[in-house]
Chain A
Amino acid sequence: MPRLSSALRSAALAASLIASSSLVPAAEAAEAATRSAKQYIPIATYRVGAYASSGTPVWGGTIDYLRYINEVEGGINGVKLVWEECETEWAVEKGVECYERLKGGREGSPAPLFLPHGDPISKALTEKSVADKIPLLTTGYGRTEAIDGRVFPYSFTVLFSFWSEASSAVNYIAEQVGGKDKLKGLKIATVYHDSPYGKETQVPLDLLAKTYGFENIQIAVPHPGNDQSAQWARIRQIKPDWVFLRGWGVMTPVAIKTAAKTGFPVDHIIGGIWSGSEEDVRPAGSVGKGYLAITPFPAGAEFGILKKIKAAIVDQGKSDLKDLKSFGSVYYNSGVIETIIAVEAIRTAQARFGHRPLNGEETQWGLEHLVLDEARLKELGADGLVQPLRLSAKDHEGGGAGKVLQWDGAKWTIVSNGWVKSDRELLLPVIYERAAAYAREKGITPRSEDTAEAGAK
């Protein structure tokens, strides 16, 4: 028996040795496979069509930052990035088609998130993204109620919602006139693109007007906005103190030119996020000098991360930009900012789920636990470029502030004293109410914060 047991022990030892010797290369292989596995990022773009001039610099920023992460940092914790574009021409049906085509991932990597790049597209995908568990990352656009992640778990209206945009613009006007108490009696006219996007600020402006006592005037401009003589004739008649311009595409330069020819002072027009790029104001020519815009995407090439991208990517001839004068522009920087948020969300999720390509559910957890404080932004070289952010299930916006830029005839200058914050404490209860109403209408049971905390399995 001892012989038998000894023989069995020897056999077991031999078997375990064989097994362990075969396990070592297996573990190494698995680790190597993880290292070689790439994280897929699907991107909806519009490089052709009516809005190509706005989109092209954005993808320049997006792709240059992705290349920077791969080439300088070796990927996110060693996981390199691969990306794929899909052309939408900013059309809803093409955007939805792109989402359907790309949501399955590529080469074994799932889609961690989707960048819809179009307000109507993001709204059309709201419910699909929940069913597919793929977060929609929308920076500076998207459904405002999606700030409430308990109702909209997969929509992330990060940085600066349209409601915050309106509130920050009013707060900037308050700064200029000597305080919020001086807003009483002022006339603020909003000249808006006559579309769901354009109308999105009507509710918050109504609330702010009631709170601060200014007169809220709303003037619609039909798409595309290439003739606004009637609208600006009304402005001349009403004589507002300030105009808040919420345009898109050609509407902005035409508004600036028409304002000038009707004699309205351009330095009392504050453009919204999508009326505040070089592409918006340059065609207006010399009359655009003095025009203001509020944005979560400050222009400039002097931010730390921009200098790093310039040295590693642009100067090496690897930039996605065809026209390098867009480097550091509002749109280019918006692409960089959006991609920083996407990359940092994946990095946050990797800390919990491992250094490997992640799926949408895991990245959603990363987004809801994303913290970009001043210290982290400094490390990234993005201080001043990206506002401090702290996302949670209850707050998919995180920031809610913008900087005010002024056009000097050739470039934007930041004229606000840092980030102009919105009145989130005033707006959030109304946003939550509207999200709850949406949940009731659609039969959605809002997540509790505990469920959200548990996150992906």
Chain B
Amino acid sequence: MSFFLETLAGGLLAGVMYALVAIGFVLIYKASGVFNFAQGAMVLCAALTFVTLTERDVPFWLAGLITLAIMVTLAVAVERIVLRPLVNRSQITLFMATLGLSYVIEGGSQFVMGASVHELDLGLSDLPVAIGPIQLSSFDLVAALTAGALVLALWLFFERTRIGVSLRAVADDPQAALSIGIRLPVLWATVWAVAGFVALVAGLLWGARQGVQFSLTFVVLKALPVLIIGGFTSITGAIVGGLIVGAADALAEIYLGPLLGGSVSTWFAYALAVAFLLVRPAGLFGERAIERV
């Protein structure tokens, strides 16, 4: 039983790490109704910038601030150069723009900061901690707490601030929002900047776990089923979706993998996402699209 609990808890904690990346997607989707393909590249860019600075003896906090400033600058540049010319274009046009953007950010980051692998030490130990009959990673526990704090901050931002309310209005109908005087460029730049901050947090935690390298962009592979299950428009959904994907992946790998003769976590999360799509197309917490015809 303790092995089952340990696997489940390990999976849930791994799921929180996926949720951290998924939150970045949710932010952009809420503001523009677009699946931001460049989110993985933003995670790489943030982590690579941070580690490049700390390796040049820039203090930890200052490196964090400079990286954040760079991510905000990037957000403003994306709004000016990519999004503004595409206002009121179809969602697929915006999606393709983010696809192109991902190549630019990935290539640009590697061109400027190099393709080497970097160690990122956040000063958090990653040794086993015994909690009752089960062992958990102290690092994963800190990551879970960080994700919790982030969700709380973002919830406050979206629910309790004027900008948050405006963002929700823009997400519902950009043209109507523009007509009542909401400044779309400012909002888009703001939400991309917040997504950049989330990418920085995700990049630091994933970078500390696996090293800062190009494969950070791969973490988005698991964010997609998380979003389908949790819903594209809900931060809470991203967390719940992450927990479901993490736990299901871990349990399937342990109990189903040996029966099927190989690793199942490559496809299991996607199979689960398809099952959710059939039952709840908008995901657990997503907003159902209602269109008048």
Contacts and interface: CB of A to CB of B under 8 A. Distances in A.
Contacts of B210: 226, 250, 253-254, 257, 283
Interface stretch (A259-267, A339-347, A426-434): A259-267
Contact of A221 (B116, B218, B263): B263
Nearest to A56: B115
A322 B114 contact: yes
Contacts of B251: 230
A99 B214 CA distance: 25
Nearest to A262: B128
A434 to B, nearest CB: 21
B218 A50 contact: yes
B61 to A, nearest CB: 21
A258 B17 CA distance: 14
Residue in B214, B222, B263, B265 whose Cβ sees the most chain A Cβ within 10 Å: B263
A53 interface: yes
A52 B214 CA distance: 8
Contact of A230 (B7, B117, B213): B7
Interface string A221-240: 11110110111011011000
Interface of B is mostly: helix
Nearest to B207: A283
Nearest to A221: B263
A194 interface: yes
Nearest to B253: A230
Given A48-B107, A220-B263, A230 B250 contact: yes
Contacts of A183: none
B280 interface: no
Contacts of B11: 229-230
Interface stretch (B28-36, B119-127, B193-201, B229-237): B119-127
B139 A261 contact: yes
Nearest to B18: A227
A450 interface: no
Contacts of B146: none
A166 B193 CA distance: 49
B128 A48 contact: no
Contacts of A282: 117, 119, 211
Most buried by B among A194, A230, A263: A230
B209 A257 contact: yes
Interface string B114-146: 111111110000111000000101011000000
A229 B6 CA distance: 10
B147 interface: no
Nearest to A232: B10
Contact of A53 (B214, B222, B265, B266): B214
A62 B138 CA distance: 42
Contact of B218 (A52, A224, A284, A285): A224
Give the 8 A-B residue pairs with the shortest CB-CB distance, closest first.
A283-B211, A52-B115, A230-B253, A222-B266, A220-B263, A250-B215, A229-B10, A222-B263
10 contacts: A47-B115, A48-B107, A220-B257, A229-B137, A230-B254, A233-B6, A233-B254, A250-B213, A284-B211, A323-B116
Given A50-B218, A226-B219, 16 more contacts: A52-B214, A53-B115, A56-B115, A226-B210, A229-B10, A230-B7, A230-B11, A231-B263, A233-B7, A236-B135, A250-B210, A253-B117, A257-B126, A260-B127, A261-B137, A284-B119
Interface of B: 3, 6-7, 10-11, 13-14, 17, 107, 110, 114-121, 126-128, 135, 137, 139-140, 206, 209-215, 217-219, 221-222, 249-251, 253-254, 257, 262-263, 265-266
